[in-house]
Amino acid sequence: MHNEQQITDHIYWIGGNDFVSSRFENLIPISRGVSYNSYFIDDEKTAVIDTVDSVIRDVFMDNVAHLLHGRKLDYIIINHMEPDHSGSLLALAEACKEAKIIASPQAQKMIGQYFHISLADRFVTSDEKLEISLGHHQLRFIKAPMVHWPEVTFTYEEKEKVLFSADAFGTFGVLNGSVFADDVNYEEEYLRDARKYYANIVARYGMQVLMALKKVEKLDVQYLCSLHGPVFRRKEDMERLTALYKKWASWEPEEESVSIFFASPYGNTAMAAQILAGRLAAKGIKHLKIVDLCNESITEAFPEVLCRSHMVLAAVTMNMGLNPVMNSFMDLCHEMDVQNRTVAIIGNSSWAPNVSGKLMKEKAAAWKKCRILGEPVHISSAPADDGLLDELAERIADDIRMTEKKACI
């Protein structure tokens, strides 16, 4: 049963929704599902832009067959070889044996690695000098290595000004009927998932993202087609998303505020987090966020790092070391190359020294361009009326006010 949607007069979305997988990459929870997008160009010559995960292979193959109307497929264009986009590549290549496969040298190598067959006689190597004419439509290719794999390219269709952007600008969440972002409330429906997607998939490669964005800025883009999530066709929507990508890639916080991340076995450290948040709110700090690392996947928690300028890390000492959930969260921050954040620390212990505070400070000190705000606060078992959290709130609030004042000068 085919289920394609028309994007322009001759370009179609031929992807589908995944309601089955509970985790993306078997790691990141996706309670709202995810779409896998592929695109078909109908011209004197025909082309498919990327394929889809094997979980929706049947509907994808039906979409291609329906749009071909018995004609041959001329080109299969590979922008990204990750299995959620190449899982149906071999099936398409075998069904359309005359189709040339346009792919970067790295993608060609991966085709051999994944499928253990030779398709070399069908390869056309994509680079930034290659141009493909389909008749009316003209395709050229933009290198975008490490956004977020080394083989990635973008494909730009010059006549209708369509950018096929691989995983860039993607989001978790299924498509709800229409494929277009302006047919839904994007901010309400997708923005949080888009941030979560960027944080967990792309954040490690901010420098490469910025390099790709410089290339994209030179193009007149009327349609932005990612491999996950809706298609953009309004200039203001594309500009907003691009501006967010620049912030995220530069590790510029979306706002001057505080995210408080805590790991609390019995609720005492959680209480300290709540008290601190209340004190900060009383001092006029808005848009605070408290994140319980013990009850939320660290992949769900990590996107909050992108949002705010200041982080508070609060955790207990366990087995003479750091609470393992906080340890994993901080390791993820290091792996994703967190930068340009101000960090305050609260350690808690009952009978051991303040090992957790010391370890959190050491780990955060290794993050690039990050600043530790004073010495770790130490709680013994449960927060007391000793003024320590009040002093910490004042220190954080003063720092935010100072930053805002500098920004106004």
Domains 5-250 and 255-400 share a fold: no
Residue 407 pLDDT class (50, 70, 90 cuts): low
* Sequence ranges of the domains in the chain: 5-250, 255-400
Give the pLDDT of residue 346.
98
* DSSP code at position 71: P
Rounded to whole angstroms, how far apart are CA atoms 372 and 73?
58
> Which residues, listed in sequence order, are joined to residue 310 by a DSSP beta bridge?
258, 342
CATH architecture of 255-400: 3-Layer(aba) Sandwich (3.40)
The pLDDT value recorded for residue 2 is 82
Q: Indicate the average pLDDT of the chain.
A: 96
Reported pTM: 0.94
Q: What is the CATH number of domain 5-250?
A: 3.60.15.10
Q: Using one digit for the tens of pLDDT, what is the confidence trace for 131-172?
A: 999 999 999 999 999 999 999 999 999 999 999 999 999 999
Q: What is the pLDDT of residue 403?
A: 78
Backbone angles phi, psi at 78, to 5 degrees: -110, 110
Distance CA 310, CA 179 (A): 36
The answer to whether 293 and 326 have CB atoms below 8 angstroms apart is: yes
- CA gap 157, 11 in Å, rounded: 10
Looking at the predicted structure, is the pLDDT value of residue 18 above 60? yes
Q: What is the pLDDT of residue 405?
A: 67
pLDDT tens column, 235-279: 999 999 999 999 999 999 999 999 999 999 999 999 999 999 999
Find the helix or strand (DSSP H, E) in which 164 lies: strand 162-164
Cβ atoms within 10 Å of 20's Cβ, excluding its own = 9
Please state the rounded mean pLDDT for residues 165-188: 96
